[in-house]
Structure 1
Amino acid sequence: MLGPSYFYAIIGGGLAGLQLARQLSRDVFFKGKKIAIIDSDFATPIKTWCFWEKGSGKWDNLVFASWQEGKFISSKADIDLKLPPYSYKMIKAADYHQHLRNEIEKSEDIEFITDDIQHIDPVTMKARGQNTTYTATHFFDSRVDPSYLESEKYTCIFQHFKGWEVETKNPVFTPGSFTMMDYRIKYPNATAFTYILPFTETKALVEYTFFSPFLTEDKVYDEKLRHYFDKILKTKDYEIKSTESGVIPMTDFPFDKENSIQITKIGTGGGWVKPSTGYSFKNTEKRISKIIENIKAGKLPGENLINNRFRKYDAIFLDVLSQNNQKGEEIFTKFYTKNTPQDIFKYLDEETSVSEDLRIMFSLYSFDFIKSFFRKAF
């Protein structure tokens, strides 16, 4: 009887799949183990990833821009965010995909396969694709379980956005300071804000972003972006060089419940997107390191990838925002006025103690949080 075709099969060649393959290829522990990366489309996406970290990091050679100062602006606050020892960094997905693929392709153990996986049978350990069937000793699966959209037990809102990479004729941006949230251009009864990553005084990525239970039409983002340039930046003289858009689920749905001896869910499909923020880049780095550590220790790859304490915190926050979406500006204003950027980043990185967690949560205190606590904490 023939054995599996591959030792590991990675379903999905995105952020998580490529990074996992890269780490496996770099570790002599996995030398000689045949690995497949299977994706229906390896086209390079037009998107950016941002993250914060202290000092230098493993991705600095791919960083397109970085900032040590930021802004938070709402109806009641205009805050300068001093980030050190943290920096806020931006990577373009095209650079990331090209760099990692070039490195991975040097490995004799890893094969890229274009196919659309329809089903993985955990009993026979076969993955059925449109073109053929694949066998492996373990599958790392980034496909998203769509049942999260139908769940009544768990909360889901969406981070959805459109961004313009623009060049203006006159200087309107402050290249040393990015804008985390600017609530001056509003959308009725929703949490919506403008996000700015300035590269020079005349070049920036400007996004209009929602954290909302609903999605909207493409023309809405364009209208709000035009208003921002007209009313806030006070310029009509700009050229749109490129656009990007996306929809990111922000949910406490336990995607990782599907982790087993045979299958480990990864990426968005594994719940690696931080539910309360939509950030995923550093979470991916940390969880892939944990997967490698687990395998080498003889544990299941998916063991202890999710911190249940912080999942509860995220569930409460999402419930508040879902039930009171029009209060997002008020909630985030409290978050940024009553906590330092350093405390916020440490909390969002899930590196705080319980006492530090409580201090953050008390800064957001309201009757809405009390109601959500009893809905979600037990």
Structure 2
Amino acid sequence: MPNPRGRDHAQPVLTIVGLGAAGASLAWRLLDAGVPFEVVEVPAGAPERSPERTWSTWGPDGPGPFGPLVSASWPRIRVVGRDGGVVTADLGSWRYRSLHSTVLDRAVRRRLERAGVAVHERVLTGPPPAPAVDTRPVPVPATGRTLLRQHFLGYRLRTARPVFDVRTATLMDFRTPQPAGGVAFGYVLPTSPTEALVEYTEFSEHLLTPAQYAEKLGEYLQRSGIGAHEVLSTETGVIPMTDAVFPASGLPGVLRWGAGAGSVRPSTGYSFSTLQRQADALAAQLPGPLTLPPPHRRRHLLMDSVVLQGLADGRLGDGFFVNLFRRNPVHRVLGFLDGTTTPAQDLALMATAPRAAMLAAVAARALPR
């Protein structure tokens, strides 16, 4: 990007396009740093506006500067196998945390208004005014070997009787029919004994119809013994899981960032922690030229590509994820999912994976497309 240094600092030195997880994270830091900028955001109700959703992170603190905005946190996590076997892990000083998009949006907008930052609400169909950080989604490149999708329907619900353990987040409950070439699981984030976000999630190639999502989630609720309940709100989403390389914007002065720049972890669909690390790096560079730091280490991308291949061809399934948590310290697994593990920790983790299935996935990945 061109260097905006030397411009009148009463004028914006940057345009942020989009106030989703990426745009809001950068805007928050620029407000702290006193860097003048402006925002272009899709109006509420427009089809291009990202749906409301819950972001999750973990670690000893955070996420980033948003600790005070965390909606809920849990000191334990669990994974449930298809056979009902449960792996529960105490996180010690860590916490698994959730942050709702509406809470972050309101907090960022309040700060923008107090600081007098211009927020232009319109659908931007062409290139943004440079210099800019463009967080709009882009089509997934066709250059990858594997493309799955993390797609889900979630209900924030209230039950007629206490059924939830408020100290435990269920990351994956595989007691649901499994799709060919992927996995399906329940995801439960309780906020009280009678309230929780409960999702039906698939990692698979093909999306379902709205009726099919509702049917799958209904089956999971029944199988889990949730009982009578009322639905308070819903969440839906589709997140690409791909080993494709996302190209730069190709536009002078426009830095593409977010899901459209590969910030989503290919094997898990997580991105919020990665965005916080990248937002710190970008904010530290201003008002100078911006260079996007790599979202993930190369070895992690290689490992993710093998896992995606194994999921897509059916060699890896629910047992792969259950055994990762069963055979490893929980901080090693969560560190790998977050991209913070060392090479030694990665080797130790992979040593617990099913050897034959992993080697077959490696061999399949080596074949010509």
Q: Which category of TM-score, normalised to the shorter sequence, fits these structures?
A: 0.7 to 0.9
Q: How many residues align?
A: 352
Q: 2:209 aligns with which of 214, 217, 228?
A: 217
Per-residue displacement from partner, 1:27-82 (whole Å, max 9, x unpaired)? 14x2xx4x221123246843211111214653222111110012111135311121
Instruction: Report the aligned-residue RMSD.
Output: 2.5
Per-residue displacement from partner, 1:139-181 (whole Å, max 9, x unpaired)? 2111223142xx1534221110001111111111111111111
Q: Distance in 1 between matches of 2:123 and 2:295?
A: 26
* 1:269 corresponding residue in structure 2: 260
TM-score, normalised relative to structure 1: 0.85
**Secondary structure of 1:330's aligned partner:** helix
CA contact (8 A) 2:258 2:264 kept: yes
**Secondary structure of 2:125's aligned partner:** strand
Shift of 1:260: 7.4
Q: How does 1:14-25 map to 2 (within 5 A)?
A: 14-25=20-31
Q: How does 1:328-339 map to 2 (within 5 A)?
A: 328-339=317-328
Which structure would you say has the larger RCO, counting Cα contacts within 8 Å and 6 or more residues apart? 2
* 1:68 corresponding residue in structure 2: 75
Q: Distance in 2 between matches of 1:173 and 1:230?
A: 14
* Closer, same or farther: CA 192–336 of 1 in aligned 2, 3 Å: same
Q: Percent identity at matched positions?
A: 28
* Closer, same or farther: CA 358–176 of 1 in aligned 2, 3 Å: same
**Quick one: which amino acid aligns to residue 269 of structure 1?**
G
* Closer, same or farther: CA 300–91 of 1 in aligned 2, 3 Å: closer
* Closer, same or farther: CA 357–258 of 1 in aligned 2, 3 Å: farther
* Closer, same or farther: CA 344–259 of 1 in aligned 2, 3 Å: farther
Q: 1:302 aligns with which of 280, 292, 304?
A: 292
Q: Distance in 1 between matches of 2:90 and 2:224?
A: 23
Q: How does 1:1-378 map to 2 (within 5 A)?
A: 6-28=12-34, 30=35, 33=36, 35-42=37-44, 45-55=51-61, 58-76=65-83, 77-108=85-116, 110-120=117-127, 127=128, 135-136=129-130, 138-148=131-141, 151-189=142-180, 190-233=182-225, 235=227, 237-255=228-246, 257-258=248-249, 262-295=253-286, 300-324=290-314, 327-374=316-363, 376=365
* 1:132 corresponding residue in structure 2: none
Q: Which blocks of at least 5 consecutive residues in structure 2 are unaligned?
A: 1-6
* Closer, same or farther: CA 352–229 of 1 in aligned 2, 3 Å: closer
Shift of 1:258: 3.9
**Quick one: which amino acid aligns to residue 99 of structure 1?**
A
**Secondary structure of 2:275's aligned partner:** helix
* 1:131 corresponding residue in structure 2: none
CA contact (8 A) 1:45 1:94 kept: no
Shift of 1:24: 1.2
**Secondary structure of 2:115's aligned partner:** coil
Q: Distance in 2 between matches of 1:261 and 1:306?
A: 24
* Closer, same or farther: CA 211–21 of 1 in aligned 2, 3 Å: same
* Closer, same or farther: CA 158–304 of 1 in aligned 2, 3 Å: closer
**Quick one: which amino acid aligns to residue 20 of structure 1?**
L
Shift of 1:368: 3.2
CA contact (8 A) 1:10 1:141 kept: yes
Q: Distance in 2 between matches of 1:147 and 1:208?
A: 24
**Structure with more of its chain in strand, by fraction:** 1
* Closer, same or farther: CA 259–317 of 1 in aligned 2, 3 Å: farther
**Secondary structure of 1:178's aligned partner:** strand
Q: Which blocks of at least 5 consecutive residues in structure 1 are unaligned?
A: 121-126, 128-134
CA contact (8 A) 2:159 2:226 kept: no
CA contact (8 A) 1:156 1:252 kept: yes
Q: Distance in 2 between matches of 1:39 and 1:140?
A: 12
* 1:123 corresponding residue in structure 2: none
Deviates more, 1:167-176 or 1:49-58: 49-58
CA contact (8 A) 1:290 1:305 kept: no
Q: Distance in 2 between matches of 1:71 and 1:195?
A: 10
